[in-house]
A and B are shown apart, each in its own frame.
Chain A
Amino acid sequence: MISHDILVVGGGLAGLAAALNSDPALSVAVVSKVHPLRSHSVAAQGGINAPLGNNPDAKDDTWEKHAFDTIKGSDYLADQDSAEMMCRLAAPTIYQLDTLGVPFSRFPGGVIAQRPFGGAGFPRTCYAADRTGLVILHTLYEHSIRKNVQFYNEWFVTKLVVDDGKCLGVVVYDLASGEIIPVKARAVIFATGGYGRVYLKTTNAFINHGSGIGIAYRAGVPLQDLEFVQFHPTSLFGKNILITEGARGEGGYLVNNQGKRFMEDYAPVALELAPRDIVARAIQTEVDEGRGYEKEYVHLDLRHIGAEKIKKRLPGIREICHNFASLDPIDTPIPIQPAQHYSMGGIDVDESCASTVEGFFAAGECACVSVHGANRLGGNSLLDTVVFGKVAGEEASRRMKNLSGSKKAEKLLQDEVVKLKSRITAWQSRDSGIKVHRLLDRLKNIMSDRVGIFRNKKELAAALQEIAMVRDDYKEAYISGDCLRYSQELVNIIEFASMLDLAEVITLGGFNREETRGSHFRTDFPKRNDKDWLKHTMVKYEGGKPCISYADVKIDKYEPKERKY
């Protein structure tokens, strides 16, 4: 049986950072359902935060101020010790990335350039034009080549096998051969990214189905704060491809159909650079109240920034507008609308990325260390992936000597292989039923219509019922293709089980949380309620259903205050 000391699942930024920082004396491998460079991290545009103080307007920036902005932005739901840790590590992390070869854009004098981003007291977002994710992911991949990291590409993990509170390994579907393979590991690190495709409108890649989070949940690991779903204010109307916050950072205006910069009504000081939850709600309100275009979108106007700056700082945005909307932002405003973008919640882990299951770790978007709380600031996620990916690799290595594994591991893994094979046979043997993409269409519509930017009790309750109906119909799902090599149909039918679970946990958390905080806006409870709700939601799969409990938020220096921008 294939066996490793550390198995990293995911080849995005968090996964590569984990692999590169694991002890090289151990046997480490990365499993990913796509080639690492195809991971969603590659699409990140705007930048990565660190208080370097390179911008002339940011001379007084410090990591404490970065931590304060992060915590305030989180609507005080972030665990303050973790947020502080991330911000303390931010500057060294950027310098390390620079040393590895990331081609950051520069200011005169040769220092790393920094632009303003939403919710930040100072311009502290480092960037490489608007292709920051591409350059960082390629750089980490290049160093994985240098360090001879072992990759299993196009291997899709279907199951995390846990026994007696210990992680034993995973079961994998190898797309190239069509085989189901058990992999034993003393430690498993999930870096499987987000679940954006649970929503109809999302900036996420087509492959972001969130199965990693779902797989951990089914293995008995609690999920934390999943009801906090970030909607990005500016996605291109139509395809919902992201138009980076950097476009507003470089000076872009949001304008309604009356030609008004409407953000002055919602965040009079920060305007377009208020945090994402606030800007997304403002846009949705403008559209809902009839001040949008075609009842769908508003304009992001970059024309006044000028051709030169657009070409230099936002070439990727210009290319996206050209490819996917046949327009040039130099002379036409961009039609934009909010879309699902990021998951603040995820697999519950502590600040060393360890979960409640021995030997199981998580980092990046799939994890919830809780640094982002109820709302993430732009530029903080790339930082999170690189910082906590590294922590996960180091911690798993450090704890290796205490991870004994289990004698039963091979047998239990084999049992799971047999179980999956019989499920596949059942899907294949049915020659009629329901196609899973039809079910997914239904699920996405439920989530976007009822569990979106504005929520209320009635809609959330209806969503829970409808999700249960889709779950019932999933029993009739089937596979039509006769070949199991490179079968995305198989991947999709397996991942759908996770998508159902995630939809349910998001909705349930939101239904119970009778307050408004960060991205979770309840029209029937429009105020934050610290007395009853300054706490984390924990959902665990027990006895065949989700069980909710709550955990304290770690408050340290920063007393919760009302958020004003």
Chain B
Amino acid sequence: MEYIFRILRFDPKKDESPYFQDFSYESVEKTSVLEALMDIRNDQDGALSLRYSCREAICGSCAMVINGNFDLACRTNLDSLKSSLVVVEPLPNLDIQKDLVVDMDPFWEALQKIEPYLHGEKIESTEGHLVDDHDMDRIFQFVNCIMCGSCYAACPVASRDERYLGPAALAKLFRFVRDPRDIRPFANWSRVNTEAGVWGCDTIFACNEACPKDVRPADGIEALRRKMVVEKIKSLFRLGR
């Protein structure tokens, strides 16, 4: 089938502003948007830049906006678009480095801030932890995050307030707070008890909508809020006694 790919192009070193460029593309059956973009690069414009790696929706490289929807280019089948015009744009809310490649640094920096690693007990473990399978299941929703950045790019709060940590980082924090092996004290994670943290969220749920892996990061933010309130009440009680 014959498609028109309308791709946002931008080289900040050269162009004053981003512009759309059209490429015609003849597809064979079951071509993904990623494969089409690579073909266009190979045959029509070698300077077209984009990120990719696994081609199976697990590495998080290829998130972009396709006909107005956030998705991974590799898992988006051309047939599923039901349109012969395919508009491809980079993730919004992040600086374009070139064409579909954006600067992910703000996203990674937010992640760093929540200390995204297990604060485990200092056991010279020769046995490993004993953990209920149910407890592992409960964090799996968040463990499935592939750090593609879609939620961050889609979030209206992150777009207006650069201090806001964003959905993926907060959901990751909740993954650790809920992990029975993690012993980080409340003082550690209560640092997100702020507008830049859990209270920044507008509960618009654009993140859940944008996420290609069904992580529902807003669930994590809401759960952190609830846990935060409970911890507060607990500490008041302790003070009162």
Contacts and interface: CB of A to CB of B under 8 A. Distances in A.
Interface of A: 34-35, 37-40, 42-43, 92, 94-96, 98-101, 103-113, 128-129, 131, 134-135, 138-139, 142-143, 145-146, 176, 205-207, 238-239, 241-242, 312, 316, 319-320, 323-324, 435, 437, 479-483, 485-489
B78 to A, nearest CB: 13
Interface in B10-49: 11, 13-14, 30, 38, 41-43, 45-49
B125 interface: yes
Contacts of A206: 38, 52-55
B107 to A, nearest CB: 11
Given A40-B54, A146-B115, A483 B128 contact: no
5 contacts: A35-B104, A110-B133, A206-B54, A312-B137, A486-B101
B95 to A, nearest CB: 12
Given A34-B61, A113-B133, A206-B55, A92 B126 contact: yes
A145 B172 CA distance: 14
Contacts of B136: 103-106, 128
A37 B143 CA distance: 13
B118 to A, nearest CB: 3
Contact of A323 (B52, B53, B57): B57
B66 interface: no
Given A134-B143, A483-B98, 8 more contacts: A99-B120, A112-B128, A131-B144, A135-B143, A138-B147, A176-B97, A206-B53, A489-B46
Contacts of A489: 41, 46-47
B127 interface: yes
Contacts of B139: 103
B130 A40 contact: no
Interface of B: 11, 13-14, 30, 38, 41-43, 45-61, 75, 97-99, 101, 104, 111-112, 115-118, 120, 123, 125-133, 136-137, 139-140, 143-144, 146-147, 176, 179, 181-182
B54 A38 contact: yes
A99 B125 contact: yes
B38 to A, nearest CB: 8
Contacts of A37: 59-60, 146-147
Nearest to A485: B98
A280 B125 CA distance: 39
Contacts of A42: 54, 58-59, 146
Contacts of B75: 323-324
B166 to A, nearest CB: 16
A482 B115 CA distance: 41
B81 to A, nearest CB: 14
Contacts of B50: 488
A434 to B, nearest CB: 12
A60 B229 CA distance: 49
7 closest A-B pairs by beta carbon, nearest first, are: A101-B118, A481-B47, A110-B130, A481-B46, A486-B49, A106-B133, A480-B46
B90 to A, nearest CB: 12
Given A101-B181, A205-B53, A206-B54, A38 B131 contact: no
A43 B38 CA distance: 21
Contact of A435 (B42, B97, B99, B112): B42
A435 B50 CA distance: 19
Contacts of A129: 140
A145 B112 contact: yes
A21 to B, nearest CB: 16
Contact of A38 (B60, B97, B123): B60
A205 B51 CA distance: 12
Nearest to A42: B59
Given A206-B53, A489-B46, A101 B128 contact: no
Contacts of B131: 106, 110
B54 A103 contact: no
Contacts of A479: 46
Contacts of B56: 43, 239, 241-242, 320, 323-324
B42, B58, B104: which has the most chain A beta carbons within 10 Å? Answer: B58
A424 B11 CA distance: 20
Given A101-B179, A109-B130, A485-B98, A96 B54 contact: no
B45 A481 contact: yes
B20 to A, nearest CB: 18
A40 B98 contact: no
A440 to B, nearest CB: 9
B130 to A, nearest CB: 3
A153 B181 CA distance: 31
A200 B126 CA distance: 44
Contact of A95 (B51, B98, B126, B179): B126
Given A483-B47, A485-B49, A98 B98 contact: no
B190 to A, nearest CB: 20
A103 B129 CA distance: 10
Nearest to A316: B58
Contacts of A146: 115, 117
Contacts of A104: 128, 136
Nearest to B56: A241
A39 B60 CA distance: 10
A166 to B, nearest CB: 33
Nearest to A33: B53
Contacts of B132: 106, 110
A394 B116 CA distance: 25
Contacts of A483: 11, 14, 47, 98
A113 B136 CA distance: 11
B128 A95 contact: yes
A99 B123 contact: yes
B47 A40 contact: no
Contact of A103 (B41, B55, B146, B179): B179
A485 B53 contact: no
Given A205-B59, A323-B75, A435-B42, A145 B116 contact: yes
A34, A94, A103, A479: which has the most chain B beta carbons within 10 Å? Answer: A103
Nearest to A41: B59
A241 B34 CA distance: 15
B126 A143 contact: no
Nearest to A135: B143
Given A104-B136, A145-B112, A207-B53, A485 B130 contact: no
A110 B49 contact: no
A376 B212 CA distance: 33
Contacts of B104: 35
A351 B117 CA distance: 31
A96 B125 contact: yes
A94 B128 contact: yes
A239 B35 CA distance: 11
A485 B13 contact: yes
Nearest to B45: A481
Nearest to A320: B56
A486 B97 contact: yes
Contacts of A207: 52-53
